[in-house]
Homo-oligomer: A and B are copies of this chain.
Amino acid sequence: MGLPTDATTPEAVGDAANAERVEEVLDRLRESGGRATTSRRILLTALFEEGPHHTAEELAIEVQRVAPDVHLSTIYRNLDELERLGVVVHAHLGHGPATYHLASETHGHLVCEFCDAAVEAPEDFFAELMDAASKRYNFTIDPRHFAVLGRCAACAQASLETPTN
């Protein structure tokens, strides 16, 4: 990683496509009176590049690999700003820090309380619940902001073998 790649490799193509999306977001930022700063460009690049679940701290480390002086509080402020813009959303997967996602990739989460494994669930998985909430409680739910906790298959099995009491 980090080595220069020529533009014909798949990941360089992906990078190029991401770079375009990053600039798109920066344009939107400018349109709304904001500015396209280096730290925002790097942060967005990290958000587009990496896996699905980033904490602010993980993103900071990623950004600091490129620009070591970017402060954690800048990451927080930029994430807030991007959230206000609708580019990212944050979610709480159990205890511990929040995770940030691209809004375009949002989904719900099932998180195991014992091993912290997270399963992503598409929005339609919650369709019935959303419908029921609307009818029974006149409530429009957004099932993506907090995880639904439980027990994954492996931990359920383990707890059968070594019961807690």
Contact = CB atoms under 8 A, between A and B. Distances in A.
B156 A150 contact: no
Contacts of A125: 129, 132-133, 136
Interface in A78-132: 92, 94, 110, 112-113, 119, 121, 125-126, 128-129, 132
| Interface residues of A, dominant DSSP | mixed
A138 B133 CA distance: 24
A146 B7 CA distance: 45
A143 B148 contact: yes
A28 to B, nearest CB: 12
Interface residues of A, number: 31
A150 B133 contact: yes
B146 A147 contact: yes
Interface of A: 92, 94, 110, 112-113, 119, 121, 125-126, 128-129, 132-133, 136-143, 145-153, 156
Q: What 10 A-B pairs are tightest by C-beta distance, nearest first? A: A141-B150, A138-B153, A146-B146, A145-B149, A140-B151, A142-B150, A140-B150, A110-B139, A128-B128, A129-B129
